[in-house]
Amino acid sequence: MQDHFERYVFGSSDETIIQLSFVGTLGVLLSNGLGFFSQSLEFLIGVKKSTFIGTILVTTGLVAAGSATEIWQLYLSIGVCYGLGDTLLYSPSMRMVAEWVDDKHRSTAMSIVASSTGATGLVTPIIMSTINRNLGEHWTFRILGITYLACNMVACAVFKKRRRSDGGGELKKPTDSLKLSILKDANLIIWCFSALLQSMALYIPYLFLPSYATYLGLSETQGSLLLSVASGASFVGRIITGVIADRIGCVNVNIVCTTIAGIATFTVWTFAYSFESLVGYAILIGSFGGTFYALFGPITVAILGMEQYALGFSWVLLATCPGVLGSTIASAIESRSKIEPFLSYKLFCGALYIGSAITTSVVRWRVSKTIFGKV
């Protein structure tokens, strides 16, 4: 949709591109940064009611975006309204899975949940492109909002929080979610920084591959297809990495995946000038670049233990908030770059992935100095 707005609605000036990129950025900032708010609201009114409120906000944001005629209106609808709703849905869904599954299968279970974004992303771009082409951007958002309402109402009906018999990890009052004592754990701080780097890199290919395809002269359909390919690969990749992580360690798998994602960005995307080569990169970045969301929960458990997982989860989400500025920063660098178009995106994204792999390796070494140990 960003590519569509650039080409047909608001123009493709550098200023407009940066403004549009900040729409999704604002939404994810609120979604990740308000995990504490989500926990506190759950404590006050219960998880079913809080997720129902999230569903209404998400639907309202999408439907309102269907009537937007200015970029600032997208800030309010997709950025604020959708972002607030998303934090009330995403945060509890990821936290509660870890509560219900034992250590031997936790990575697999959480990767299955995380893979849902890949499954959705596999079909959504194709459907949205078709609707957008035939009915326009207004009805694209409205139909998406109605679809989200139906799906999320089912999710709200089955949400159930598991209570620990010993009361461990439970909030005693709403403000407990903001405890600062957990930040004394150096491993958590290092992991938060690594998570920040991964989240900064993650959004760049997904946001700019369609625009890059357009720059190469490919069709809008081919650009959407690249997102579907990446999302499909992400769906499969997240599940596989989760299964492997339960056997050799979630931290170990994360290091390998981010390293491969960085190398693929430097070597494949940098020299991709055809649709076929872009499909190859989409498969690689989908398979390895998006595993962060499948593994960051189990990694947080491995660092803090289940007793402090709920608190640590919110801090990791908060740490990733500036990560969504990665696409905006990349756009700002690109607007001032004198090198080949889109090359700054490729180099910036690759460097972030490699930097994250190095940082996660530090955490792994601090947790266990055994080279082939399961971490």
Q: How far apart are CA 27 and CA 41, in angstroms?
A: 19
Q: What letter would DSSP give residue 7?
A: I
Q: What is the pLDDT of residue 274?
A: 92
Cα dihedral across residues 43, 49, 52, 54: positive or negative:
negative
Q: How many CB atoms lie within 10 A of CB 265?
A: 27
Q: How far apart are CA 179 and CA 53, in angstroms?
A: 25
Q: How many CB atoms lie within 10 A of CB 97?
A: 18
- Find out whether 352 and 263 touch, Cβ atoms under 8 Å: no
Q: How many CB atoms lie within 10 A of CB 280?
A: 16
Q: How far apart are CA 304 and CA 188, in angstroms?
A: 8
Q: How far apart are CA 4 and CA 23, in angstroms?
A: 14
- Find out whether 265 and 345 touch, Cβ atoms under 8 Å: no
Q: What letter would DSSP give residue 162?
A: P
CA atoms within 13 A on the CB side of 230: 27
Q: What letter would DSSP give residue 8?
A: I
- Find out whether 317 and 32 touch, Cβ atoms under 8 Å: yes
Phi, psi of 176 (to 5 degrees): -60, -25
- What is the residue-level pLDDT of the chain in tens, covering all 375 positions? 777 787 777 877 777 777 887 787 788 788 877 877 888 888 788 888 999 999 999 999 999 988 888 888 889 998 899 999 998 988 888 778 877 888 788 888 888 888 887 777 777 877 888 888 888 888 888 998 999 899 899 988 888 877 654 444 556 666 666 677 788 889 999 999 999 999 899 889 988 888 899 889 888 788 878 888 888 888 888 899 999 999 999 999 999 999 999 999 999 999 999 999 999 999 999 999 988 888 888 898 888 888 788 778 888 888 888 877 787 788 888 888 778 889 999 999 999 999 999 999 999 998 887 777 787
Any idea of the CA torsion for 289, 276, 227, 261, to the nearest 10 degrees? 10
CATH 1.10.10.1100 fits 2-158+179-367, yes or no: no
26-51: buried (b, 16+ CB within 10 Å) or exposed (e) per residue?
Answer: bbbbbbbbbbbbbbbbbbeeebeebb
Q: What is the pLDDT of residue 283?
A: 94
Give me the residue spans of the domains in the chain.
Answer: 2-158+179-367
Cα 100 to Cα 246, 251, 280, distances in angstroms: 16, 21, 37
* DSSP for 9-57, written as a single string: IS---HHHHHHHHHHHHHHHHHHHHTHHHHHHHHHHH-HHHHHHHHHHH
Q: What is the pLDDT of residue 138?
A: 85
